[in-house]
Structure 1
Amino acid sequence: MKLKNHPIKAGVSNRHVHLSQEHLEILFGEGYELTPIKDLGQPGQYAAKEKVILVGPKGAIEGVRVLGPVRKATQVEISRTDAFKLGVKPPIKDSGDHEGSVGLTLVGPKGTVVLEKGVILAKRHVHMTPEDAEKLGVKDKQLVMVYCEGNGERKTIFDDVLVRVSSSYALEFHVDVDEANAAMLNNNDNVYIIEEL
């Protein structure tokens, strides 16, 4: 197996919510603004102080972090394990693609939002700049394989990893908690795009 000689930091994504301004105000109050507490790996993205409750047909998950800034449409990203607990069957989707996705109820301190769609299992992907893409010899929307050492105990190859290229991105490989746990992968671990098997 030959790896591209350019390490990529892993970012493990726990369950979280991106809110539209409309839904933010329903959940937290009119004119409400998010309170940033920690910058994330992607420029301009941050974890907010605010949390909501996810409620599905079979159960609820409390204390789910809201990420900022606000978006045009509300999106809920959960793991398959979360989906079992909530009793929903979200599809694997690229962020922002809500076609065929499912809904649930969001509960905040001031109100409730019933989503018809927007709940997804995020497709694993690599963010990168055009310069990174050129170094790695890949293109936007290309599917690649990514190799993970797994602390030497659970070496894993992730297939069907979507490449996302933009000058506003930073180089980072994103997987959800279920995928990371299966591969013994932690935040900031190095992974590599496979050049050839």
Structure 2
Amino acid sequence: MLIPVGVSNRHIHLKREHMDVLFGKGYELTKMKDLTQPGEFAANETVKVVGTKGEFPNVRILGPLRNFTQLEISKTDSYILGVEAPLRSSGNILGTPGIKIVGPNGELEIEEGVIIAERHIHMTPEDAEKFGVNNGQYVSVKTEGERSLVFNKVLIRVKDTYALDMHIDTDEANAAGLKTGDKVQIVK
């Protein structure tokens, strides 16, 4: 039973209030392409993020808007920016560092919200039953190929609206020689 991989580059999720500051009151994101998770998309819009040591000029915004602003980066990105981002599950931003965000219409500094996203697998309840796993459980996942390895501590996220997909960042993908669409399997 194989699971498709989705490699996530650095990206940002914005809340309405921050979207208004960065792009103008009431501005709506425009869709560049759909993502694997139903209803989620990569927007045409980007922002610049500025850390204490460096910056990234074109960080893609993912939609739709959320109830919180969160910048997801890799460990390598954290060194470049000069931000000590912790490894966290998406949405768990309490006590995380902030960063400066610059848009075409304004800029702001968030007090928290910069994370390195914990690797995870999205799946439906039916998938979870088939794989014999539960929401919130951690599993190990084996990759194939020239740089095959086993990822430990992969979080299972179960929701009826999810599509089966393992999300890893670019550092993890490069270490394992993986690209979006490759397949992995849970190790029992």
For Structure 1 versus Structure 2, the TM-score category normalised by the shorter chain is over 0.9
Q: Corresponding residue for 1:161? A: 154
> Structure 1 CA distance, aligned partners of 2:95 and 2:186?
30
- Structure 1 position 170 matched with structure 2 position 163: yes
- Structure 1 position 12 matched with structure 2 position 4: no
**TM-score by structure 1 length?**
0.95
Please list every run of at least 4 consecutive aligned residues from structure 1 whose deviation after the TM superposition is greater than 2 angstroms.
none
- Structure 1 position 54 matched with structure 2 position 49: yes
> Structure 2 CA distance, aligned partners of 1:168 and 1:116?
31
Q: Corresponding residue for 1:108? A: 103
> Structure 2 CA distance, aligned partners of 1:93 and 1:140?
16
1:114-134 deviation per Cα after TM superposition (whole angstroms, max 9, x unaligned): 010000000000000000000
Q: CA deviation at 1:63?
A: 0.6
For residue 97 of structure 2, give the secondary structure of its aligned residue in structure 1.
coil
Residue 48 of structure 1 aligns with an amino acid whose one-letter code is A
Q: How does 1:21-36 map to 2 (within 5 A)?
A: 21-36=16-31
Q: Corresponding residue for 1:40? A: 35
> Structure 2 CA distance, aligned partners of 1:73 and 1:94?
14
Q: CA deviation at 1:24?
A: 0.5
Q: CA deviation at 1:100?
A: 2.1
> Structure 2 CA distance, aligned partners of 1:184 and 1:164?
24
> Structure 1 CA distance, aligned partners of 2:94 and 2:17?
20
Q: Corresponding residue for 2:59? A: 64
For residue 61 of structure 1, give the secondary structure of its aligned residue in structure 2.
strand
Residue 80 of structure 2 aligns with an amino acid whose one-letter code is K
**TM-score by structure 2 length?**
0.99
1:76-96 deviation per Cα after TM superposition (whole angstroms, max 9, x unaligned): 000111111110001000000
> Structure 1 CA distance, aligned partners of 2:95 and 2:62?
23
Q: Percent identity?
A: 55
Q: CA deviation at 1:43?
A: 0.4
Q: Give unmatched runs, 5+ long, in structure 1.
A: 1-5
Q: Give unmatched runs, 5+ long, in structure 2.
A: none
> Structure 2 CA distance, aligned partners of 1:64 and 1:117?
17
Q: How does 1:90-105 map to 2 (within 5 A)?
A: 90-105=85-100
For residue 109 of structure 1, give the secondary structure of its aligned residue in structure 2.
coil
1:118-154 deviation per Cα after TM superposition (whole angstroms, max 9, x unaligned): 00000000000000000000000000000111xx211
Counterpart contact for 1:91–1:100, Cα < 8 Å: no
Counterpart contact for 1:48–1:67, Cα < 8 Å: yes
1:148-168 deviation per Cα after TM superposition (whole angstroms, max 9, x unaligned): 11xx21111000000000001
Q: How does 1:80-91 map to 2 (within 5 A)?
A: 80-91=75-86
Residue 183 of structure 1 aligns with an amino acid whose one-letter code is A
Say how many residue pairs are matched.
188
> Structure 1 CA distance, aligned partners of 2:149 and 2:180?
16
> Structure 1 CA distance, aligned partners of 2:97 and 2:6?
25
